[in-house]
Amino acid sequence: MSMDNEKQKDEIIALESIYNKEEFSYHKENDQYECTLKAYVTLPKDYFFTYKDSRRPEDPVESVPISHLPPLSLFLTLPLNYPSESPPKFTLVSSWLSQYVLAKLCKKLDLLWEENKGLEILFTWMAFLKDETLEFLNIETSLGINSAYTFYKMNSEATQNAGNISEFKGDKTEVNKDPKSKNMEPSIDVRKSVIRKTTHEKHPTKKRGKKQRTRKFVDQRAISDRLIGINPVQMLLDYDLKRKQTEFKRNFYMCKICFLDKLGDHCTQFVPCFHVFCKECIFTYLEIRIKEGNVKNISCPEDKCLSEATPGQVKDLVSQELFAKYDATLLSVTLDTMTDIVYCPRPHCQYPVSREPNDRMASCPACQYAFCVYCKMVYHGIEPCKFKSAEKEKLVTEYQNAPDEKKVQLEQRYGRKQLQALVENTMSEHWINTNSRHCPHCNAAIEKSDGCNKMVCWRCNTYFCWLCGTRLRADTPYVHFRSPQSKCYNMLFHGVVPEAGQDDEDDLDFPALYLDYNSDDEEFNNEDFVIEFDL
C-alpha cells in the first residue's frame, strides 16, 4: 500500500469522526475515493438577505431575516497521487451564489492547496467554506439576491407572454398540444423567441447583425444550482424553516410543564414565543380542551403567553379521531361567530347556509330546504313569525325591556302590530287575573268593585265567596261567613275599603250587631232583620 493511499485513508477516518453523515460522505470507485462535503455556512445573529427587481429602480429594497443558508456542496475525487503531488479534483455547487462568485471561491481553494501542497487539504477547505466564506465575499451582514430575483421575474413574465402569444393578431406560431388534455402550451422555440424579444426591447440601440462580444471564461468547476421558475426568495425561506426544524429536533430542551429534559424530536414549540414543551404534556393539554369543546384560541400553556397552537401543530400532536373532532368543533365555533351564516334546521342536515344580512329567507344548498332565518320554519313570506303560547310571557318581557335596536329586530321577525297587540293582551290578562275571580260554576270572570265578599255571578247567578271561591247556597249565602268552622269566619267585609267620610263608629257598630247574633236552630237572613233606632 502506497504512502498516499495511507494518508487518504487516515484523512477519511478523521473527517468521519469530525463531521456527521449529513456533512461528509464517501465511497470508493475505481480505487479512488469519491467524497461529498457539505459546508453549512455559519451566519451571524440578525443576518438577512435583500432583494428587488433591478428593472424597477423606484421599488424599495425588501429585507428578510434569515438564520440558515443552503450548504455549499463540494464534490471531490482524490487522485492516486494525492496529497503528495496532485490536488483533489472538485466541483463546487451552490443554490444561492452565482457562477461568477463561486469561481472566486474555487480560485481561493486552489490558493489554499498551493499554500499547503503535499498535505491533506480537505479539512482546510471545509473550514474555510464554513467559517470564512461570508468574509471572503464581503457579505458578512447581508446577502443580496437582486440579480437572481430579477432573472426569476423576467423568466416568469416571458413564460406568461409565451403562453399568450397565440392570441396575437396574425400569429402563426405552432403550439404543443397534449392529447390527454385540452391545455395548450407554447413550444420551446416560442419561449426562446419571447426571451430574445424581451432582450432586444431592453437594448433598443443594439443591432441584431452586430457581432456579440465573446463571453468571459468562467471556471467550469463552479456550478450555480438555481432552478429556473423557482422564486429564490421563497426557496431561501423554505430552506431556513426546514433547517430550523432539523436543528430543533437535534437539541435537548426542558419541558416547562413536567420539568424533564427531552430531545427536541419529542417536543413541540409554540410560535412566535418559542416556548418549548414535551409532546406528552401538550397532548394531554390539547385532549382536555378538545373534549370540552374549547378549541378556539388554544394558547401556549406558559403563564400570560398570547401565542396560539396552529391547526397543523394540533394535527401533528393528537390522534386522527381527536383532530377530526377538533376540526369539526373549530369550524362550528367559527361559523357561529359569523353573522351571515345560519344552520339548516333539519336535524338530519344541519348544513351551514350563507345568507344576506337583510334577507329573511335562506335556502340550504345540501337539502334544498327554504326556511325563515328567524323561526327556522318553512319560509312564510311577509307573514310574521308565529310564536308558541309558552313563549308569550318571555317574548313580551324581552320586547318591553329591549333597547331600540333589539326592538327593531323583534318587530322585523314578529311584526310590530302583532307585538303591540300581544303586549296589550298580556297586560289585560294580568289585570284580569289580579282584579277578578272566576265563577265556580261557569268560570265567568267577575270583577269586584265594592260591597261585601258574598258574590253573585252575572252570568248564571251562582253565589260564591270572593275570598276562597267556595260556592254558597242561594237561600243562606251568609252562613259561610258566620260559621266558626268556616275559614272565612267573620270575614264578610274583609278587605273592603271604607268610603270617604264614613263614620268609623258606624263601621264598627252595624256589623257587630248581626255578628253577635247567633242561633243554631233558626236561619238568619239580614235582609229580613230590621233594627229600629229611636233618635
Report how far residue 1's alpha carbon sits from residue 130's, in angstroms, rounded to the nearest whole number. Answer: 33
**Which residue among 405, 434, 463 closes a domain?**
434
Question: Out of 452, 460, 465, 488, which one is annotated catalytic?
Answer: 452
464 and 401 in a common domain: no
Q: Which helix (H) or strand (E) holds 206?
A: none
Beta strand pairing status for 261-263 and 267-269? unpaired
- Asked whether residue 303 falls in the same domain as residue 264, the answer is yes
Q: Report cis status (omega within 30 of 0) of the bond before 357.
A: no
User: 260 and 396: one domain?
Assistant: no
As a whole number, the mean pLDDT across the chain is 79
Q: Are residues 23 and 128 both part of a single domain?
A: yes
Specify the amino acid at residue 342.
V
Do 326 and 414 share a domain, yes or no?
A: no
Same domain, 132 and 70: yes
Going by pLDDT thresholds of 50, 70 and 90, the confidence category of residue 138 is: very high
Q: What is the pLDDT of residues 230-287, one digit of tens each?
A: 899 999 999 999 999 888 888 999 998 999 999 999 999 998 888 999 999 999 999 9
- pLDDT tens-place string over residues 394-453: 777 777 777 877 777 777 766 777 677 777 777 766 666 666 788 888 888 787 767 788
- As for how many domains the chain has, the answer is 4
Residues paired with 361 in a beta bridge: 372
Q: Is the pLDDT of residue 64 over 80?
A: yes
419 and 469 co-located in one domain: no
Lowest mean pLDDT among 29-38, 326-335, 347-356, 424-433: 424-433
Q: What pLDDT, on the 0 to 100 scale, is given for residue 403?
A: 82
71, 63 in Cβ contact below 8 A? Answer: no
End-of-domain residue from the set 312, 336, 360: 336
Does 7 score more than 70 pLDDT?
A: yes
Examine residue 134 and state whether it is found in any structural domain, yes or no: yes
**pLDDT grade for 351, boundaries at 50, 70 and 90:** confident
The answer to whether residues 124 and 19 belong to one domain is yes
Same domain, 47 and 123: yes
Helices assigned H by DSSP within 165-206 = 188-202
pLDDT over 50 at 506, yes or no: no
| 364 part of a folded domain | no
| 534 assigned to some structural domain | no
Expressed as residue numbers, the domain containing 406 is: 390-434
Q: Give a yes or no: residue 199 inside a domain.
A: no
Q: Is 202 within the bounds of a domain?
A: no
**pTM (predicted TM-score):** 0.54
pLDDT digits (tens, 9 = 90+) for 197-208: 333 444 444 444
The pLDDT of residue 348 is above 80: yes
Question: Is the residue at 177 inside a domain?
Answer: no
Percent of the chain with pLDDT over 90: 32
Q: Supply the CATH number for residue 16's domain.
A: 3.10.110.10
Residue 430 sits in the same domain as residue 467: no
Last residue of a domain, one of 110, 132, 147: 147
Residue 388: per-residue pLDDT? 62
Report d(CA 396, CA 419) in Å as an integer.
8
> Is 452 marked active-site?
yes
Q: For 238-252, 336-350, 420-434, 479-493, which range has the lowest pLDDT when averaged over its residues?
A: 420-434
| 419 and 449, same domain (yes or no) | no
Structure-model confidence comparison of residues 33 and 458, the more confident one: 33
Long-range pairs for 373-381: beta carbons < 8 A, 24 or more residues apart: 373/342, 374/412, 374/413, 375/413, 376/345, 377/345
526 belongs to a structural domain: no
Given a contact cutoff of 8 angstroms between Cβ atoms, the answer to whether 94 and 73 are in contact is yes
Residue 302, in any domain of the structure: yes
**Residue bearing the bigger pLDDT, 334 or 173:** 334
Provide the pLDDT confidence category of residue 121 given band limits of 50, 70 and 90: very high
- pLDDT on residue 413: 67
Residues 410 and 454 placed together within one structural domain of the fold: no
Percent of the chain with pLDDT over 70: 77
Model confidence at 164, in pLDDT bands (50, 70, 90)?
A: low
Higher pLDDT, 496 or 268: 268
For residue 170, give the H/E element and its range: none
